[in-house]
Amino acid sequence: MSDLRRLRSRTGLYLLIGISAAVMLFPFLWTVITSITTDGNLSNGPSLWVKDPTLESYRTLFKALPMLRIILNSLVVAVLSTVLQLITGSMAAYGFARLEFRGKGAVFALYLATLMVPLQVLVVPLFIEMKTFSLQDTYFALIAPSIASAFGIFLVKQAIDAVPRELDEAATIDGSGHLRIFATIVLPLVKPALATLAIFAFMGSWNSFLWPLVVTRSASHMTLPLGLSTLQGQYTTQWNVVMAGSVVSIIPIAVIYVIAQRHIITGMAHTGIK
């Protein structure tokens, strides 16, 4: 009887997981289906069955926009933002976790308080700052606001706090300084947290729309969200082309997540973030 009850509970659990996965995957499936559907079939109403699948919407997308340039811009901005955020976040997190200085708690609390300030509040002062130094419509202007992240510092600090201090003390006895301890002991042990921060930073930069919209003026620095927004017309919109652009924008994030998912789950578990 207990085996039958256990089988029923597992069956119910797997059924619930399957339904949840289907609900999560349905928007992506709908996006792909719409992207390979012709305008004529879309006018007949939504359908999950594609009568005459075609890649014409993708060809139209690459003809309507300089997609290679736009994708390169997004990759440059996202990769540089991610790398710089990993560097600044890990170094600041080590300082808060391992170094003792006056007012450390107050400074860390001030960093965390900035998480409550939305980007919309900072857009105007940031734009004025960029305009004052003639930096608008540059890669630096696109990257600068995301060089450091309070969330990243908090995430990595939580992981460093879980590293036993005895390892630092043993390395200090052997003559190692903070830089060597940080580079050779701490960083290798917090790789899951760094991978988690990397995927969050990449996704945030890749999907950023408001700040590039404000600071970008020319098509040469246009990122992917801005490019896709130009596909929507005032009166009519080719939704299959828009969905084709959405598929193109989803692919890099999906690939990165599949590669780093094991580290992300481990990082979440080690840092205590649910």
Which pLDDT tens digit goes with each residue over 172-188?
888 888 889 898 889 99
pLDDT bracket for residue 47 (50, 70, 90): low
Please compute the mean of the pLDDT values over residues 102-128 and round it to a whole number. Answer: 88
Q: Is 0.75 topped by the overall pTM? A: yes
Average predicted confidence (pLDDT) for the chain: 85
Instruction: Find tokens 């540059």 and name the residue.
Output: 138
Instruction: Using DSSP, state whether 237 is helix, strand or coil.
Output: strand
Residue ranges per domain, the chain?
A: 66-271
Q: At what angle do helices 67-98 and 104-113 cross, to 10 degrees?
A: 150
Phi then psi dihedrals of residue 38, to 5 deg: -75, 160
Closest CA to 29 of 21, 38, 41: 21
Please give the average per-residue pLDDT across 25-51, as a whole number: 76
Q: Which CATH architecture has domain 66-271?
A: Orthogonal Bundle (1.10)
Q: Are 228 and 245 in contact (CB under 8 A)?
A: yes
Which residues contact residue 271 at a Cβ distance below 8 angstroms, ignoring those fewer than 6 apart?
155, 158, 159, 162, 193, 196
Are the C-beta atoms of 151 and 201 separated by less than 8 Å?
no
**What is the amino acid identity at position 247?**
V
Are the CB atoms for 251 and 178 separated by under 8 Å?
A: no
pLDDT digits (tens, 9 = 90+) for 188-208: 989 888 988 998 899 899 999
Q: State how far the Cα of 131 lies from the Cα of 216, in Å rounded to an integer.
A: 11
15 burial type by CB count under 10 A (0-12 exposed, 13-18 middle, 19+ buried): exposed
Q: What H or E segment, with its residue span, contains residue 262?
A: helix 239-271
> Has residue 90 got a pLDDT over 90?
yes
